[in-house]
Copies of this chain bind each other. A is one copy, B any other.
Amino acid sequence: MHPTPIALDAMGGDHMPDAAVAGAAEAAREGIHVALVGDPTRLEEACRAHGATNLQVVPAEDVIGMDEHASDVRRRTQSSVMRAAAEVKEGRASALVSMGHSGATMAAALFTFGRIKGVERPAIVANLPSQTGTVTLLDVGANADVKPSMMRQFAVMGRTYASIMHGIERPSVGLLSIGEEPSKGNELTLAAHELMRDLDGFAGNVEGRDIFAGTTDVVVTDGFTGNVVLKLAEGEAKTLFGWIREALRSSTRAKLGGALAKPALKRVAARLDPSTYGAQPLIGVAQPTFIGHGSSDARAVANALRFADQTVREGVVSRVADALAAARGDA
């Protein structure tokens, strides 16, 4: 158990505060300490409704709506996400987790925590299932436009993350492009490739098909392409399983086969479930920060809290900082 709890923005998201309370209660049963940040009246009601009597509540009067501007965050110091960030900044909590407005969470983390020394831009990391295990993909949306030097940092941060969180000794890093040869790509990836050549574990360009093939442990891309990739991957899995369900209702024979094959097919679907990790780490900021889907339910919240807890215990932030310092030394 930590000396300090994880600060959970208990108001940001579609199913709040109920999902936050139920998820925090689940995590608490496993010994993960959580501070629920939000409207105390509503939180205490939700705690009673869920029979969660021992959860800590940190009051916050305001909440950033999903349709508000991320840039408003700085002056909304009483919002749940800013209050949760303050808990971390002031040492009363070990990590920030929010299922609310992702731009607002990023802004709150950047403004309150600042960046790890030398980091040009933080990046959002996604964990995708692959034929060989888990692929660490970044950036999946923190930066719509990036510079080649940022992509080099994404590589160093992603590699450190993959080695700690997925237990890979010397993770390989691919640069997402449109051909394996170093001469294939757009202006951005051609320049990034040059800057990445000297990095430990750099395996050159990879293509779209290499992500699910698991050709490399880490895949580096700009936040625009990464966001498209992530949403496409989730959307394709959803569509495909929809088609399979439909096909397995198309005849008596298919129905019988489907009933027998159901447990096996469910295991495949579980492998592709985006809520396995519950939230995505924003790496490069100076405190552990996790951004979840607005649609998160209690299970996703609990998974996010477990994941945040593991990250804190592993000391990811300071190890990413060390790796960046070493990579600067190399260059």
Q: Is A211 an interface residue (CB 8 A)?
A: yes
Say yes or no: is A49 at the interface (Cβ < 8 Å to chain B): no
Known A-B contacts A224-B225, A232-B208; A268 and B244 likewise in contact (beta carbons under 8 Å): yes
Which among A14-22, A247-255, A283-291 touches the partner chain? A247-255
> In this complex, which of A212, A238, A251 has the most chain B Cβ atoms within 10 angstroms of its Cβ?
A212
Number of copies: 2
Indicate whether A28 reaches chain B with its CB closer than 8 angstroms: no
CB pair A228 B265 closer than 8 Å: no
| A240-277 interface bits toward B, Cβ cutoff 8 Å, 1 = contact, 0 = none | 10111001101101101111111111011001100000
Interface flag for A295 (CB, 8 Å): no
Measured CB to CB, the nearest residue on chain B to A267 is B247
Does A325 make an interface contact (CB < 8 A)?
no
Please give, as numbers and ranges, the residues of chain B lying within 8 Å of A189 by CB-CB distance: 224
A268 to chain B, nearest CB (A): 5
**Distance, CA A228 to CA B227, complexed state (A):** 12
Interfacial chain B residues near A46, Cβ < 8 Å: none
Which range contains the number of A residues in contact with the other chain? 35 or more
A228-B176, A257-B257 as given contacts; A186 in contact with B145, CB under 8 Å: yes
Look across to chain B and name the residue whose beta carbon is closest to the beta carbon of A143. B186
Chain B residue at minimal CB-CB distance from A131: B239
Contact of A251 among B228, B256, B264 (CB under 8 A): B264
A134 to chain B, nearest CB (A): 13
* A188: min CB distance to chain B, Å: 8
Asked if A210 CB lies within 8 Å of chain B CBs, one says: yes
Which listed residue (B187, B213, B237, B239) contacts A213, Cβ 8 A? B239
List the B side residues contacting A61 at CB < 8 Å.
none
A230 at the interface (CB under 8 A from B): yes
Q: Are B261 and A257 in contact (CB under 8 A)?
A: yes
- A292 to B256 alpha-carbon distance, docked (Å): 39
- Tell me whether B257 and A262 are in contact (CB under 8 A): yes
* A323 at interface by CB-CB < 8 Å: no
Contact A232 B229 (CB under 8 A): yes
Q: How far is the CB of A215 from chain B (nearest CB, A)?
A: 10
User: Across the interface, which residues of B come within 8 angstroms of A237, CB to CB?
Assistant: 236, 240
